[in-house]
Structure 1
Amino acid sequence: MIHNLSDVQSNNIGEGTNIWQFCVVLPQAVIGVDCNICSHCLIENDVKIGNQVTIKSGVQIWDGIEIEDKVFIGPNVTFTNDKSPRSKEYPEVFLKTVIKSNASIGANATILPGITIGEYAMVGAGAIVTKDVKPHTTVVGNPAKEINK
């Protein structure tokens, strides 16, 4: 289901995926099956989203970001793709950020560019992730640090 108040330009969207109102999906984005893209999201061109991914409201997925299967992205999570942004100056290639399968990112977390978040990792709400997150770990804080569960 693609809501009629969204602007979805991609034809690379899997069966059973829902894209809600006020979303923009650019033409070369790839989105898997059975995903839920909530309202007010933007998905750029050089983006790959796996199967059964949930992206809550207010998230922008910029060029260079890959999200594997069964990932949860909480509301207003902020991704970045340029370590030294300047107006009207773009890198030749954006840094690649990968969110591995079954990871979860809490509301309002910020993910700096070039980061890999491992399988089954948990990023706490509001965390600022400045370096890779190991699989099966939980990180919280600013900067995000691993905690024991």
Structure 2
Amino acid sequence: MKLNDIKPGEGAKHAKRRVGRGIGSGLGKTAGRGHKGQKSRAGGFHKVGFEGGQMPLQRRLPKRGFKSLTKEFNAEVRLSDLEALGSTEGAIDLLSLKAAGVVPQLTIAAKVVLSGSLTKKVVLRGIGATAGAKAAIEAAGGSLE
């Protein structure tokens, strides 16, 4: 094989359709644009979704639902996860949870939920907790800071 032998693959290249080149081409006169109207004119077109002044579909349909942009950066921590953590000298914060692999590295905020049981004393710093989880932590002798 030589550089001067290289050719495009079979069917890769084809001639562009030439419109407006006479009656015999099949695309003469109006060049496939039909007669008159906005779509037949040069430069005459409208924005996406425009329906000629009729109320557009995206405005006829009701608004529905909500998708939080911060959902992927918030994490839930179960009481059983706190129980499974090894020896915790001092307070448990977001960094220690990330280091232990309890929450993902991209997490910005974490909240403890009442799931599982907690027997050892834990001190949480900068981490939220639901009402039930807070009661369970305080019942085990722990606290939230």
Q: Which category describes the TM-score, using the shorter chain as reference length? A: under 0.3
Q: State TM-score, norm by structure 2.
A: 0.19
Structure having the higher Rg: 2
- Answer 1 or 2: higher relative contact order, Cα 8 Å, separation at least 6: 2
Q: Determine which structure has the larger strand proportion and give its number.
A: 1
Q: Determine which structure has the larger helix proportion and give its number.
A: 2
